[in-house]
Structure 1
Amino acid sequence: MALESPLLTGNNHSNGVEGGAHGGGKGTTAVKEFGGESKRLWKLAGPAIFTALSQYSLGALTQTFAGQVSEIDLAAVSVENSVIAGLAFGVMLGMGSALETLCGQAYGAGEIRMLGVYMQRSWVILLTTACILVPLYVWSPPILELIGETTEISEAAGKFALWMLPQLFAYALNFPIQKFLQAQRKVMVMAWISAIVLVIHTVASWLFILKLGYGLVGAAITLNTSWWLIIIGQLLYIFITKSDGAWGGFSWLAFSNLWGFVKLSLASAVMLCLEFWYLMILVVITGRLPNPLIPVDAISICMNIQGWDAMIALGFNAAISVRVSNELGGGNAKAAKFAVWVVSVTSVSIGVVCMAVVFATRDVFPYLFTSSDEVAVETTKLATLLAITVLLNSLQPVLSGVAVGAGWQWIVAYINIGCYYIVGLPAGILLGFTFGFGVEGIWSGMIGGICLQTIILIILTSITNWNKEAEEAETRVKKWGGGSNEEH
């Protein structure tokens, strides 16, 4: 039967965990179970981290090359990447993350054929959302000025944003494809495609931005082309291989039950957007400081580094979301709980290493992004706050991945609103402007919000009844896929 493979796999994992808890030689068995779950985790997380790093590096490398041209080009690409494209990225990734819950739990329950339908529904919703977001790109200069950016930076970033409209529609297709492939654990495919495109992008960026001197126009051409090459590569794989039965061709089912799908997509979008926009706002608020060009460039460099590090956590986010949703979909509550514990320990350990690297290279890494000594010195001053943020963000996205895998999107959205926008953001504004600590104060206050949110998510995960979550996953799978309504 088609249901047997995922269910048996999940049950084997669950039995192993139970053996670790009740069998003889608890210490040795626990180590073996940790190693077994860690191996399963890394099979997903390793390629997912590499994919996330590669795709993030497309924009980060573009920013790096632009910084070698001029300070205003660096500011333009930084602000467009972090504010305009950052907002769109958060919306698209968030809405696409509904598929992590649905595809992951359907795969765990053996309802493979529904994954392709889910992806198509997500395409319909995200392409519609992309059309709604087009005015944000078109009218970005006045929007940026309204939120405090200087006219010079706003106009340069606005011009670059117009050229980056093709990337917006690439986002709309890419994130549903990623969740579709991740749920089936086909992460190596994405890794290979992203690696090839990254090499092409690096060479093309050097050629168009620096060698041929096309500046921002060259940056837009290479960045848009690279994102669409990723889409084309992934779609060719899906259409040619049929993804082991998960892709059955285009279906009118993609247009059925859209409202229910939209509600879950919106919940995912709200949850993740509140996280993505939080540090994006840091760049915007910094733009309201006196003489903002140097601080904006410095904070943008730090956000670039933090973004690279966040891609590691995002890889674990994807991996634990798949593990939790697969195990809950298969009714294996104990295995889901154990997976959460293993990924948390692993991710925090990596966060400590990354924090140490930031401290050790604080006088060096700024010059990878700028030739300005003023910007480099300001960036070095912010390195301590960057290191703390790197450590905190090693665990927080992982816990968010647990939430997506279990379907807790609305709960985490409310937590994010309270911690980030009622506590962290006002504290940052108070420290930065009222008490005169500048960008260091703004960032410190916002770190407080991240700390509070992380503590609450740890408590929430600790008190979760995983047996109840497995029962709810079974109900969700019956509602969204495999029922008679979908089949007939």
Structure 2
Amino acid sequence: MSTTHLPTSQDERQPLLESEPATPTTAVSYGGTTTTSESATAASPPDAGGPGRLFVSLLVDSVPVILSYALQNSIQTSAILVVGRLGPDELSAAAFSLMFAMVTGWCVALGGTTALDTLGSQAFTGGERRTDVAIHLQRCIILLWALFVPVAIVWVYARPVLLAFGQTERLSRDVQAFLRILIAGAPGYIAFESLKKYLQCQGIMRASTMVLIAVLPINILVNILLVHNTSLGFLGSPLALSISYWLAFIFLVLFTAFSPTHRKNGTWGGLDLATVLDVRSCIDFLKLAIPGILMVGTEWAAFEIVALAAGRLGALPLAAQSIIMTADQILNTIPFGIGVAASTRVGNYIGSRSAPLAKRASHLSALLSVVVGGIVMITLIATKDLFGYLFSDDADVVRLVSKVMPLVASFQIADGLAGSCGGVLRGQGRQHLGALFNLVAYYVLALPMGITLAFHPRTHMGLQGLWIGQVVALFIVGFGEYAVVWLGTDWEKEIQKGVERNREQAKIRSMHQVEDQDNSC
């Protein structure tokens, strides 16, 4: 592929630090494709050569990311299935524990690392040095570990929290015991997610998928061994998960170390804690990470609230809700994967100062999500009367699933737009807008509406009412974010912000290098 065309004006081609001379053209690698850069300190994403080629490129990038998140979900699902053999109480405790971990802990990893969607992808193509990407990675891991500390405290004392929300004594006690052991695996989960983003910023999309394919069978075997063949029993599951998360991180480190593409990119420059822990840089990172956590966490929490509300409708709606939520979690990996591909490509183009390509990538990622969402929607509608049989033989449960499935199908296009446009916003560094849309759509409109429709005596629509609220929320988020991307984006301004981010990082690194030299003298 040919190189992305950088701005041609003399001013825009100046290095970010005027005191440092420009460097000659060098070859760099993006996703396994060698390209050239006008600076030895930054890489250029490949010019897609036209809308059709860029569309296909986004699709190709999305597939391994989708598989990666599906495999991550499978690791937890397999753990629940293994524990479920012990009995219904253990099954409920494991499922509830992992739901609680997802909303409180894993959203720190998945939401906080969205800061790398902005900083890492823009630094890869626009940074004064390619090793700036590794600085952002190190800062990401350290700060997200710090943000997990208060979450860990909540996990340690989860029992009184759950009792206060009306859960039973046994469930609260078992969930607390499960989460206390799972704390050991959380740093591994965060580090794995951070390293995965670091590679994705460089167009290396398949690494985490290959690692998770290797880890999944190990996870199943270790779960079976610890749960059914040791005295740990139920508590063997969080220990097995913790081992799996650390193995995933270690395997990904080894993959990265021996990756030819990663070595060609030259983004790793060693540990640099002085630059990593610079206060201004840490604050700038948190300004992106915390809205990213809210962006992810608010959506997940809203769906879990719907699940808890469904439990109050009775056993039948709860069973149907479990089937629908399981299906939705699987389907949600599709727009999320497209969003990751979009954020990486948009961030890379902003870093290389190519406004037309950044704009084109944002619109084509939205188109891709609409096409894929339309296919999923048609499939769900066509199979709505049979879908429930994949999980249950109860005719009443299958019938209720059939009634709700058209609602789930109806928001697939909107969910796709929310995923892809959310990715574009992350690539730009506007995570706060995604968080704002989610807060308003879910907590001001959707949840009050859904709960009213489900439980109010005049409507009493039950499970369908809850999902009508979710449909409304996703349409607001999906089309609202697309309107922002389409009508509310000044691409030249976003590029200038990217230039300023990279310039600030270069100044901070230079400052610490001077301090280190003075100290050594």
Match in the other structure for 2:89 = 72
| Separation in structure 1 between the aligned mates of residue 112 and residue 106 of structure 2, nearest angstrom | 10
Alignment pair present for 1:177 and 2:190 = no
Please name the residue that 2:159 is paired with.
141
Match of 1:223 among 223, 227, 241: 241
CA distance in 2: counterparts of 1:139 and 1:294, whole angstroms: 32
2 CA distance for matches of 1:216 and 1:366?
A: 29
Give the distance between the partners of 1:475 and 1:127, measured in 2 at CA.
Answer: 27
- Judging changes above 3 Å, is the alpha-carbon distance between structure 1 residues 446 and 399 closer, same or farther for their aligned structure 2 residues? same
Of the candidates 129, 147, 164, which is equivalent to residue 129 of structure 1? Answer: 147
Q: Give the whole-Å Cα distance in 2 for the aligned partners of 1:215 and 1:376.
A: 33
TM-score (norm 1): 0.86
The 3-state SS of whatever aligns with 1:166 is coil
After superposition, the Cα gap between the structure-2 partners of 1:140 and 1:11, relative to the gap in structure 1 and judged at 3 Å, is closer
State the distance in 1 between where 2:231 and 2:401 align.
Answer: 27
Which residue identity does 1:433 align to in structure 2?
F
> Match for residue 479 of structure 1?
504
Partner of residue 448 from structure 2, selected from 426, 435, 443:
426
Match in the other structure for 1:46: 63
Residues in 2 aligned to 1:349 and 1:245: alpha-carbon distance in whole angstroms: 36
Distance 2:375 2:231 in 1: 38
Alpha-carbon contact 1:415-1:453 (below 8 Å) kept: yes
Question: Does the CA-based 8 Å contact 1:83-1:280 persist in structure 2?
Answer: no
Larger deviation, residues 245-254 vs 388-397: 388-397
Residues 162 and 172 of structure 2 are in contact (CA less than 8 Å); yes or no, is this contact kept in structure 1?
A: yes
Distance between the aligned counterparts of 2:270 and 2:175, measured in 1?
Answer: 40
Counterpart contact for 2:65–2:209, Cα < 8 Å: yes
Which residue of structure 2 aligns with residue 251 of structure 1? 272
1:225: Cα distance to partner? 2.2
Seen in structure 2, the aligned counterparts of structure 1 residues 323 and 365 have a Cα distance that, compared at 3 Å, is same
Q: CA deviation at 1:166?
A: 2.5
Question: For residues 295 and 76 of structure 1, do their structure 2 counterparts lie closer, same or farther at Cα, with a shift above 3 Å needed?
Answer: farther
Shift of 1:486: 5.7
Deviation, 1:102, is 0.3
Deviation at 1:303, TM superposition (A): 1.9
Distance in 2 between the 1:402 and 1:465 partners?
Answer: 13
> Which of 6, 13, 19 is equivalent to 2:47?
13
C-alpha separation between the residues in 2 aligned to 1:156 and 1:378? Answer: 31
Q: What SS does structure 2 have at the residue aligned with 1:249?
A: coil
Within a 5 Å distance, the mapping from 1:292-311 to structure 2 comes to: 295-311=317-333
Structure 1: runs of 5 or more not aligned: 17-32
Deviation at 1:221, TM superposition (A): 3.5
Task: Classify the secondary structure of the residue corresponding to 1:436.
Answer: coil
Q: For 1:428-478, what per-residue CA distance to the aligned partner results, in whole angstroms no more than 9, with x for missing partners?
A: 121122232233212221321221121211111111222222222212221
Distance 2:411 2:96 in 1: 20
Identify which range, 233-242 or 203-212, moves more after superposition. Answer: 203-212
Q: Which runs of 5+ in 2 are unaligned?
A: 1-22, 29-35, 515-521
In structure 2, give the amino acid aligned to 1:187.
Answer: M
Aligned pairs, number:
469
Distance 2:332 2:64 in 1: 15
Query: What is the match of residue 417 of structure 1?
Result: 439
1:120-165: CA deviation from partner (whole Å, max 9, x where unpaired)? 1111111112221112222223323433445554444344333322
Contact 1:85 1:168 in 2 (8 A): no
* Deviation string, structure 1 residues 298-338 (Cα, Å, up to 9, x no partner): 42332222111111222111110010000011000110111
What does residue 285 of structure 2 align with?
Answer: 261
Q: Are the aligned partners of 2:121 and 2:348 in contact in 1 as well (CA < 8 Å)?
A: yes
Could you tell me which residue of structure 1 aligns to residue 406 of structure 2?
384
Residues 297, 486 of structure 1: alpha-carbon distance in 2 compared, 3 angstrom cutoff: farther
Identity across matched positions, percent: 25
1:347 to 369, 373, 378: 369
Q: Give TM-score, length-normalised by structure 2.
A: 0.81
For structure 1, which segment, 361-370 or 470-479, has the greater mean C-alpha deviation from structure 2 after superposition? 361-370
* Residues 350 and 428 in structure 2, CA contact (< 8 A), matched pair in contact too: yes
Aligned alpha-carbon RMSD (Å)? 3.0
Counterpart contact for 1:60–1:304, Cα < 8 Å: no
Aligned AA (2:254): L
Matched, 1:271 2:300: no
* 8 Å contact kept, 2:313–2:462: no
* Corresponding residue for residue 438 of structure 1: 462
Measured after TM superposition, the shift of residue 368 of structure 1 is: 5.2
Give the distance between the partners of 2:317 and 2:187, measured in 1 at CA.
Answer: 31
DSSP-derived class of the 2:203 partner: coil
- Contact 2:418/2:479 (<8 A) preserved: no
Residue in 2 that maps onto 1:168: 186
Cα distance in 2, alignment partners of residues 238 and 150 from structure 1: 45
Partner of 2:32 in structure 1?
A: none
Code of the aligned partner of 2:59: W
Cα separation, 2, equivalents of 1:61 and 1:384: 28
Structure 1 SS opposite 2:188: helix
Match for residue 28 of structure 1?
none
Counterpart of 2:4 in structure 1 is none
1:163-201 per-position Cα deviation (integer Å, ceiling 9, x unaligned) = 322232223212221111111112222121111112333
Q: Give the secondary structure class of the aligned counterpart of 1:331.
A: coil
Amino acid in structure 1 at the alignment position of 2:250: I
* Matched residue type, 1:237: F
Query: Residue 99 of structure 1 corresponds to which residue in structure 2?
Result: 116
Provide closer, same or farther for how the CA distance between residues 248 and 370 of structure 1 changes in structure 2, counting only shifts above 3 A: farther
Question: What SS is found at the alignment partner of 2:89?
Answer: helix
CA distance in 1, matches of 2:175, 2:288: 33
Cα distance in 2 between the residues matched to 1:41 and 1:284: 36
Q: Secondary structure of 1:187's partner? A: coil
Contact 2:404 2:467 in 1 (8 A): no
The higher-RCO structure (CA 8 Å, 6+ apart) is 1
1:194 maps to which residue?
Answer: 212
- Amino acid of the structure 1 residue aligned with 2:178: F
**Any idea what the Cα deviations from partners look like across 1:408-432, whole Å, max 9, x if unmatched?**
1122222222112111111112112
CA distance in 1, matches of 2:232, 2:468: 38
1: CA distance, partners of 2:384 / 2:302: 24
